Amino acid sequence: MAIVAAVVGTVLIAVVLWEAFETIVLPRRVTRRISLTRLFYRCTWRPWLALGRAVASGRRLETLLSFFGPLSLLLLLSLWAVGLIVGYALLYWSCGTGPKIPGVDAGFFDGLYLSGTTLFTLGLGDVVPHTSIARGLAVLEAGMGLAFLALVIGYLPALNQSFARREVSISLLDARAGSPPSAAEMLRRHGSEHGLAALQQLLRDWELWSSELLESHLSYPVLAYFRSQHDNQSWLAALTAILDTCALVMVGLEGACERQAELTFAMARHAVADLSLVFLTAPREPRHNRLPPNALAELRVLLEATGLRLREGEEADEKLRTLRHMYEPYIFSLARYLNIAVPPWIPAAGRKDNWQASAWERSPGKTRGKAQNVAAEEEGGEHF
């Protein structure tokens, strides 16, 4: 039994360390299909999503889903710590941890207690190893505990920085493409005299953003579960709007930057295709056509009203269908898995951007109440 416990403990420690190395340290995508970290997220995300759909909808559902990313990360780190504690406890038990009471051998749970206090460097000393091998394991585990803490301290800020950089560009897209972003609105707002030059710069910036998204989300896939600040914004919706816009420019938009659109399209499509591999979401055709012929005709009319003319004809329509087929199946598959809404090609009429709307404007009664509270505080009184 001692030999079996030593083998199981060694394997458990090795698996936890390798998973932590691949998740935190290794700066590239894990290509093997069997990964405990990937299995953990697939086994926890689906029940969380099902629970959220059962108890909430709309904005409350989005709020509930936004908790998953941070909570799952904390749970994953806790599981790694538990795995290390149990693994070392098995090793201590296999070689003897030392007596708590003279003449009484320590059991497995005493080894578990010793492992926990050693990994977290408590050093209480009420259960101590008495063999040379056990003492060496205690020193190794204490060093591993410090390294584990250092990795966690360095990992969380890196995640927050990557998330913040991603969200900055998404927020900037609000005034340029609407909320949620759409290709028609993005082109319409760049139909002024110098708008196409601004559009070229915008597509160049989003080529870089797509590249950063690919690298950060391949290295840290948990970022895909982190939701944006607004319910009608997301990294997948922004990526879809950029791909839609590039597809229209590539089909033929007079005076537009076709070469830059091709570069941005290639990078954005690369990102969405590789991320579908990370989450094992096979591309699937959408149930409903996002841009049926009548909507495409409406889009052409909308663009012509702003001075932009989209090339017409069967050849242009076929090219647009081909371009859409290159990314829409991946987009819909990821959107279905992550429960993210895919933005339309044409925005809904009368919809305000996020920067135009405010909670103060939506709830006049609550606004007056808050204003009265502020006035009462300024006067030095209290408002109940």
Answer yes or no: do 193 and 53 share one domain. Answer: no
User: In this predicted model, what pLDDT tens digit does every residue of 52-90 receive, in sequence order?
Assistant: 999 888 888 988 999 999 999 889 989 999 999 999 988
Confidence band, pLDDT 50/70/90 cuts, at residue 32: low
Residue 347: half-sphere exposure toward Cβ, Cα within 13 Å: 24
Please give the DSSP secondary-structure letter assigned to residue 383.
-
Cis peptide before 364 (omega within 30 of 0): no
Q: Considering 319, 338, 357, which residue would you say is the last residue of a domain?
A: 338
Confidence band, pLDDT 50/70/90 cuts, at residue 360: low
Statement: residue 383 has pLDDT above 80: no
Q: 197 lies in which domain range?
A: 180-338
Task: Give the residue, 376 or 161, on which the prediction is more confident.
Answer: 161
Answer yes or no: do 70 and 33 share one domain. Answer: yes
pLDDT at residue 82 in the model:
92
pLDDT at residue 106 in the model:
64
Q: What would the mean pLDDT of 206-210 be, rounded to a whole number?
A: 96
- How crowded is residue 276: how many other Cβ atoms within 10 Å of its Cβ? 18
Answer yes or no: do 105 and 57 share one domain. Answer: yes
CA distance linking residue 264 with residue 169, whole number of Å: 15
C-beta separation of 250 from 323 below 8 A: yes
pTM, to two decimals: 0.83
Where would I find the H helices in the chain? 2-20, 36-55, 58-66, 68-95, 108-119, 132-172, 174-177, 183-188, 195-219, 235-252, 258-278, 293-305, 314-338, 359-362, 364-378
Residues 6+ apart with CB under 8 A from 155: 24
Is there a domain that residue 358 lies in? no
Residue 253's φ and ψ, nearest 5 degrees, are -120, 115
Answer yes or no: do 132 and 96 share one domain. Answer: yes
Statement: residue 244 has pLDDT above 80: yes
pLDDT at residue 103 in the model:
55
pLDDT at residue 147 in the model:
87
Is there a domain that residue 354 lies in? no
Give the DSSP letter string of 253-301.
Answer: BTTS-HHHHHHHHHHHHHHHHHHHHHTT------SS-SS-HHHHHHHHH
C-beta separation of 110 from 100 below 8 A: yes
Q: What is the 3-state secondary structure (H, E, C) of 296-336?
A: HHHHHHHHHHCCCCECCCHHHHHHHHHHHHHHHHHHHHHHH
pLDDT at residue 372 in the model:
41
Is there a domain that residue 224 lies in? yes
Statement: residue 148 has pLDDT above 70: yes
Length of the chain: 384
CA distance linking residue 378 with residue 243, whole number of Å: 51
Q: What would the mean pLDDT of 262-275 be, rounded to a whole number?
A: 95
Is there a domain that residue 367 lies in? no
Q: Is 153 exposed, middle or buried (0-12, 13-18, 19+ CB in 10 A)?
A: exposed
User: In this predicted model, what pLDDT tens digit does every residue of 189-199 receive, in sequence order?
Assistant: 887 767 888 89
pLDDT at residue 163 in the model:
92
C-alpha of 16 from chain center = 23
CA distance linking residue 19 with residue 36, whole number of Å: 7
Answer yes or no: do 235 and 130 share one domain. Answer: no
CATH number at residue 35: 1.10.287.70
Statement: residue 375 has pLDDT above 60: no
Answer yes or no: do 116 and 199 share one domain. Answer: no
Is there a domain that residue 132 lies in? yes
pLDDT at residue 323 in the model:
95
Confidence band, pLDDT 50/70/90 cuts, at residue 155: confident
pLDDT at residue 283 in the model:
93
Q: What would the mean pLDDT of 148-156 be, rounded to a whole number?
A: 83
For the chain, the domain total comes to 2
Flag the least confident range among 155-164, 313-322, 335-344, 367-376.
367-376
Task: Quickly tell me which residue has 């710590």 as its tokens.
Answer: 81
Answer yes or no: do 21 and 89 share one domain. Answer: yes
Answer yes or no: do 214 and 266 share one domain. Answer: yes
Answer yes or no: do 123 and 189 share one domain. Answer: no
CA distance linking residue 111 with residue 113, whole number of Å: 5
Statement: residue 28 has pLDDT above 70: no
CA distance linking residue 373 with residue 384, whole number of Å: 8
C-beta separation of 354 from 179 below 8 A: yes
Answer yes or no: do 197 and 314 share one domain. Answer: yes
Statement: residue 376 has pLDDT above 50: no
Q: What would the mean pLDDT of 241-260 be, rounded to a whole number?
A: 88
Answer yes or no: do 101 and 185 share one domain. Answer: no
Statement: residue 366 has pLDDT above 90: no
